[in-house]
Amino acid sequence: MPCAAQAEPRASLVVTRGDGAQDCPDAAQLAEQVRAIAGRNLVGVGLGSPMETWIQVTIARSFGSYTAQISALGVHHGTRLLEDLGPSCASLADAVAITIAIFLDPYANIPLPTPMPPAGAEATLAAPARIPARFEAPAHFPQLLLEGSGGVALNLLEHSEPFVNANVGMRLSPRWAFALGGAFVFPDTKPTRGGEIELGLSYAYFAACARAWGEPESAHLDWCAAPLVGSFAGSGKGYLQTHTERSLWFALSLGPEVVFPVGHYLSWVVTAEGVAPLVQQSFTVQSAGALDNAYRSAAVGGLLSLGVRGAL
């Protein structure tokens, strides 16, 4: 038989709204939505009285979408990240209210059937067994990230050459992450009049990434930008006199990375970056008494890679 409506709430609710999310409901409005869905008073507003569970909802808007981070502490605990790409906050607000209602009372507003007793037996009523509602296991931030990858560098040297990359990063929240790393591009050779030039490039970078689509537990897309600082080298071969020239190399990179989780702590990462050198490098050779501009770096290049990322 349906339970009597509760007079006292079992959880307290606090709602914070970021810039651009003012059209989303505040704590009182969201509590009313939960009450309408559950058919009973499940949450109270604020932290005025002791409760068995405390729920905080943080709503933000960025990249044209609304996100809600739901965090619960107390008897019920866990986190959930919801996202909606709609033009208003209405759909996200409904999803948040339904999530909270099911989390606190999975049988809210659902009539429970009463089994018929055997003929001649005394009818008894027993409370149905309740299945505890659980959120997904909470993600802890900050997270330490370790990544190794390999791919192809396009137009950074004379030809497309393979490169290897490694970095250590920190995910501060479901949306923001940073990484410090380095890469080595395998040497390339350009034939010239009277010999050839061996080209080499290695660099370090500091990348910042922002979530554009998806949730951490499933496939998601981030946009990353980074300054690159390294050493560009050219070494002559086959000439009467040869030596190696090195110069500082500066560039900016921008592009998406797609992450495919294969477990709680391991993911495949596919990246595609455009690279714009801030200074074009060039090397000259002297042949038959004349100077020849043997190599000049391209104005735009790219990086394509596949890697493995671990989270600690």
pLDDT tens sequence across 39-90? 888 888 876 666 778 888 999 887 778 889 998 887 777 888 888 887 889 8
Residue after which a domain boundary falls, among 122, 138, 154: 138
Same domain? For 66 and 169 the reply is: no
Same domain? For 164 and 133 the reply is: no
The CATH number of the domain holding residue 52 is 3.40.50
Question: What is the span of the domain harbouring residue 33?
Answer: 1-138
> Which residue reads 């554009």 in tokens?
212
Same domain? For 215 and 117 the reply is: no
Residue after which a domain boundary falls, among 138, 155, 183: 138
- The count of domains in the chain is 2
Same domain? For 164 and 196 the reply is: yes
Whole-angstrom CA distances from 111 to 30, 108, 128, 234 are 24, 8, 11, 78
Same domain? For 113 and 152 the reply is: no
The pLDDT, as a whole number, for residue 120 is 42
Residue after which a domain boundary falls, among 138, 162, 194: 138
Q: Is 104 within 8 Å of 11 (Cβ atoms)? A: yes
Same domain? For 17 and 57 the reply is: yes
Same domain? For 134 and 151 the reply is: no
Q: Is 151 within 8 Å of 162 (Cβ atoms)? A: yes
The pLDDT, as a whole number, for residue 219 is 85
pLDDT in tens, 139-187: 566 889 999 999 999 999 989 999 999 999 998 887 899 999 999 999 9
Same domain? For 152 and 133 the reply is: no
Same domain? For 121 and 162 the reply is: no
Same domain? For 184 and 254 the reply is: yes
Same domain? For 82 and 133 the reply is: yes
Same domain? For 214 and 300 the reply is: yes
The pLDDT, as a whole number, for residue 62 is 79
